[in-house]
Amino acid sequence: MGSSSERDNIEEIHPFYYVLMKVLFKVWRQKPKKSPQLESYQLEVQAGNTILECLNRIKWEQDGSLAFRKNCRNTICGSCGMRINGRSALACKQNVGQELEMISASSNGDIPTITVAPLGNMPVIKDLVVDMSGFWDKLQEVDPYVSTKGRKIPEREFLQTPDERSQLDQTGNCIMCGACYSECNALTVNPEFVGPHALAKAERMVADSRDTGTEERLDNYNQVEEGVWGCTRCYYCNAVCPMEVAPMDQISHLKEEILDRNDAQSSRAIRHRKVLIDLVKEGGWIDERKFGVYVVGNYFKDLEGLLSLAPLGLRMLTSGKFPVVFEPSEGKKEVRSLIERVQNYQLSDKALSR
């Protein structure tokens, strides 16, 4: 619990930190080949108790059959990832007080309730323990190691400057807890998507000055459904990451690198991004008449793509939703200026980092 002075300081800031309260823990239990069921356990706990401490007490005092993973208890190993009140998190990091504040518990006089469930997008082995083999398999798909070409000279050290090493600080914080993977909407609808954890690690490889396989890596990550373009940009991975790795931001960095190296003819995914920016820059917002033709029809070069637009175009025409004319926005000059400033900033930032 710490020294008496530390406790006094905590009590002064959080007066209810050590106050005992009754909390109902609802835990999703599941055995192999059986349907999950919700079981309830009541504990007398303090607001400062972590969810992991509470699960330990349930296992030690009430139900020894409860299964969950744990190890360091200090937000280092990532073992205790689970869904707490519907949000993927580390049980050793979240405490009772935080969870009750988030859910505004006990507003109707009932005992406050905390619900614990296994991580999503992974098969359940038992209770809160999930099978992470798919998670690790997808990580391997991005080749998460510094290029072997850079390790072929054993007598040479591949040193980095402090600035070069600082490029890896954020992505290097990932502890592979699975929280981002659990919340990924793209994975839920498309199991072939490699996942935010893998792409965050991929960006760490691309940013590493010692790696010699950047071009090959970016070609590998430039996939419509499995790679960077499969991300739905929901930002849930950023919201739940306990280490502030911000996987969505790292995926965006990869996209920028890929866009810089490819023109609009490379693929529909790249064309989609470039056409969108060009049209907004031109008129302040998207000219829908051109967008489909340029992206799907590849500037009138893809006859099959143009024909695929016909059914949608006819439905839009008959329902009166097809824009006959395009009116630029009144603030198009400001929009163009903003886009140009961002693009110039990105260019100068990349020049400095190199």
pLDDT computed for residue 182 by the predictor: 98
Given a contact cutoff of 8 angstroms between Cβ atoms, the answer to whether 45 and 56 are in contact is: no
Residue-wise DSSP of 311-350: HHHHHHHHTT-S-SS----TTHHHHHHHHHHHHHHHHHHH
In sequence order, the 6+-apart residues with CB closer than 8 A to the CB of 144 are: 198, 201, 202, 204, 205
pLDDT confidence tier of residue 48, bands split at 50, 70 and 90: very high
pTM metric for this prediction: 0.84
Q: Which domains does the chain have, with CATH numbers?
A: 4-129 (3.10.20.30), 137-230 (1.10.1060.10), 268-353 (no CATH)
Give the β-pairing of 113-117 and 81-84.
antiparallel
pLDDT computed for residue 280 by the predictor: 94
Provide the residue count of the chain: 354
Round the CA-based radius of gyration of the chain to a whole number and report it: 25
Q: What is the pLDDT of residues 305-320, one digit of tens each?
A: 899 999 988 898 899 8
In sequence order, the 6+-apart residues with CB closer than 8 A to the CB of 28 are: 36, 37, 38, 115, 116, 117, 118, 127, 128
**pLDDT at position 12 over 60:** no
**pLDDT at position 4 over 60:** no
Q: What is the pLDDT of residues 328-345, one digit of tens each?
A: 998 899 999 998 898 888
pLDDT computed for residue 1 by the predictor: 45
CA–CA dist 180, 168 (Å, integer) = 19
CA–CA dist 53, 67 (Å, integer) = 14
Q: Which of 279, 280, 325, 328 is nearest to 299 (CA)?
A: 279
Q: What are phi and psi of 320, to 5 degrees?
A: 75, 25
CA–CA dist 174, 238 (Å, integer) = 12
Q: Per residue in 304-320, is it b (16+ CB within 10 Å) or e — as a string?
A: ebbeeeeeeeeeeeeee
Q: What is the pLDDT of residues 55-71, one digit of tens each?
A: 999 999 999 999 999 99
Query: What average pLDDT does this structure show over 181-187?
Result: 97
Q: Is 247 exposed, middle or buried (0-12, 13-18, 19+ CB in 10 A)?
A: buried
Q: What is the pLDDT of residues 138-174, one digit of tens each?
A: 999 999 998 877 667 677 777 889 999 999 999 999 9
- Strand residue runs (E) in 19-123: 20-29, 37-46, 81-84, 87-90, 113-117
For residue 210 the two structure tokens come to 């010692």
Helices 247-261, 268-283: inter-axial angle, 10-degree rounding: 90
From the CB of residue 224, how many other CB atoms can be counted at a distance below 10 Å?
Answer: 13
In sequence order, the 6+-apart residues with CB closer than 8 A to the CB of 121 are: 181, 182, 184, 187, 188
Percent of the chain with pLDDT over 70: 90
Work out the end-to-end distance of the chain between its first and last CA atoms, rounded to an integer number of angstroms. Answer: 48
Q: Where is 197: in which H helix or E strand?
A: helix 196-207
**Residue in the structure block whose two tokens are 């198009």:** 332
pLDDT computed for residue 54 by the predictor: 98
CA angle 81, 131, 58 (to 5 degrees): 50
For residue 136 the two structure tokens come to 């690790």
3-state DSSP assignment of residue 176:
coil
Helices 196-207, 133-141: inter-axial angle, 10-degree rounding: 30
